A and B are shown apart, each in its own frame.
Chain A
């Protein structure tokens, strides 16, 4: 059968930021990419051609520097946050934004509602909002002296929030476990890394730990003022999808 060649070329990569930037490099140096996708979740079709790109950090560095120099550091920040989004078209959208930015320069990020800018800025804002939200909503339990937190964020924010807790709990050891992506960050002695979460085994909570949970739940319930009841507002601020991992909303977990 003859291949349907319409000039489309998707680049596939391993899911890492370096891998993505390597695709951007090839899109400039070789054939222009129409889309960039993570290989593991790519929907193959007979219409599109694709190429699997091997991550090369010397090439991704070139693109990284070019973005900072030709657009701005702030643009790099926006791109990195958008990259952590759960939106399945994030990579292609970021590529479009980079192409636009290389043409327009520094002002690109300010053209907020332009079609090449808007999706990226929106994704970036969403990720940043969720990051901020979980600085507050993440709940740790003390398991044998190690602080353990499990959560299910929409976006891939574990590395972002780990920075915050690494300072806050500098002299503690902790694990932040993203249930959805099955990854975890593990921190001790000023160092942390992201690991595969399948190796984590969590013991039962001790009586003392259960008591602290109960104490907190009691406090939480006491603090609501009946005359001001506004459950809708509460749902806006603590969406139902997050609640199973937040101790004061979860009655099943002790």
Chain B
């Protein structure tokens, strides 16, 4: 490696950093080839955290930022006057291995701007992967972006070398896509997603028959939606993710608060603050859908199409459905316990197990580090209610508000 690799890495990491996905989970693989380096851990492993608090798990880079497209929201669009750079496949492989040996990373996340054509670009990505897996004997995690419009055959052969593949939807509706990325058609985006879903199903059947059949994208596929570049509501965004989970077996849908880096009449003003709080609420809602058996439509009403920014979505839902509370924790079903604000999946599992041997007390919940400052309004413990005078939404709302103000004051006194 020589000095000019510094410049390339800077440009091509900078261009890749707005893609939020960096997870390395979903694949368990031992190092089982002679001379090979690397394995994969199903839980995923974070290796470090940048100054924005985001985890780095994979070496996230573009193969090139030299793009033929002109998407309004994108830094790399052809009409933008920025420095361009392109890695050779050897450079990417070498960087990955050197970082991996020192335990800086779990593997590689490779994306690319579109050069020459989608197919040409996908072929380039495939070549890097082939080099890494064969010549460099790399057994660690690899996530690659699929370039919509590439030949299905190229996508397929890449899928047998990658752990995860993703196509970014970027914008939640056809109209938004038309406005900001007219060269990307929603049908074209869905095509490779469908292909990956179908190939995965075929592959699962194959693997039932032949134990040694190669795995196709074992970590599944994910996608990303930009938040706040258009006027789409949270309800639109979450029903889109719901259908992606249900119909395409998507492993994850990521949300990325739009950061204005470009000024355009079609985009939010450059002074717009990125909607980080909104992004956070969407992730909480997504979590409720994936692990708490919520459906997206439960989180909205006829008039409320966006998530509440003050209170988290579970608390908001509970306040709207107050007639279902309080819930007796020593008797309630698993499903009902999951609906209690302040109760996580871990807490619920522990409660279910422990109450088989002994009734739980309020103090037990405290020991489990349950968020009782919220939960206490929604539960009874052996018939006793700890939430104050009444189970009434306005009262609970103001009590929680007051408590939070008090906590902030205490924090200031500490500082």
Contact = CB atoms under 8 A, between A and B. Distances in A.
B45 A212 contact: no
Given A139-B104, A215-B95, 5 more contacts: A114-B358, A149-B103, A168-B39, A233-B49, A248-B48
Contacts of B103: 136, 138-140, 149, 165
A132 B43 CA distance: 10
Nearest to B98: A212
Interface in A114-164: 114, 118, 132, 135-142, 147, 149, 164
Contacts of B259: 225, 227-228
Given A113-B368, A171-B35, A142 B48 contact: no
19 contacts: A110-B357, A118-B367, A132-B45, A136-B48, A140-B101, A140-B103, A142-B102, A169-B101, A172-B37, A219-B9, A219-B10, A220-B48, A220-B50, A220-B56, A224-B51, A225-B54, A227-B273, A230-B52, A231-B53
A243 B404 CA distance: 32
B358 A171 contact: no
A229 B37 contact: no
A62 interface: no
Interface in A160-200: 164-165, 167-172
6 cross-chain pairs, A with B, having the tightest CB-CB distances, nearest first: A233-B53, A230-B53, A224-B50, A228-B52, A110-B353, A113-B364
A47 interface: no
Contact of B37 (A132, A137, A171, A230): A171
Interface stretch (B11-19, B119-127, B160-168, B225-233): B11-19
A107 B18 CA distance: 48
B368 A112 contact: yes
A86 interface: no
B357 A111 contact: yes
Nearest to B43: A132
A215 B49 contact: no
Contact of B354 (A111, A139, A212, A228): A111
A43 interface: no
B13 A222 contact: yes
Contacts of A211: 1
A220 B274 CA distance: 22
Interface string B363-382: 11001100000000000000
Interface of B: 1, 5-6, 9-10, 13-14, 17-18, 30-31, 35-39, 41, 43, 45-57, 59-60, 95, 98-99, 101-104, 106, 140, 257, 259, 273-274, 276, 350, 353-354, 356-358, 360, 363-364, 367-368
B50 A234 contact: yes
Interface string A99-114: 0000010010011111
A218 interface: yes
Contacts of B46: 136, 237
Contact of A147 (B6, B41, B102, B273): B102
Given A222-B10, A225-B18, A246-B48, A135 B41 contact: yes
A170 B31 contact: yes
A228 B5 contact: no
A162 B184 CA distance: 47
Contacts of A214: 6
B10 A218 contact: yes
Contacts, number: 155
Nearest to B22: A223
A232 B14 CA distance: 23
A181 B125 CA distance: 45
A227 B18 CA distance: 11
Contacts of A142: 101-102
B47 A137 contact: yes
A137 B48 contact: yes
Contacts of B363: 113
B49 A167 contact: no
Given A110-B353, A112-B350, A167 B358 contact: no
Nearest to B14: A222
Contact of A110 (B47, B102, B356): B356
B263 to A, nearest CB: 15
A140 B368 contact: no
Nearest to A149: B103
B52 A229 contact: yes
Interface centre among B43, B46, B103, B273 (most CB of A within 10 A): B103
Contacts of B35: 171
A141 B353 CA distance: 45
Nearest to A170: B31
A170 B35 CA distance: 8
Contacts of B13: 219, 222-223
A238 interface: yes
Nearest to A110: B353
A21 B45 CA distance: 33
A167 B39 contact: yes
Among B10, B49, B259, max chain A CB count under 10 A is at B49
A167 B259 CA distance: 41
Nearest to B102: A140
A222 B17 contact: yes
A107 B356 contact: yes
A172 B257 CA distance: 42
Contacts of B101: 140, 142, 147, 169, 172
A216 interface: yes
A219 B14 CA distance: 9
A184 B106 CA distance: 23
Nearest to B5: A215
A169 B30 CA distance: 11
Contacts of B1: 211-212, 215
B52 A168 contact: no
A236 to B, nearest CB: 8
A36 to B, nearest CB: 24
B29 to A, nearest CB: 10
B37 A169 contact: yes
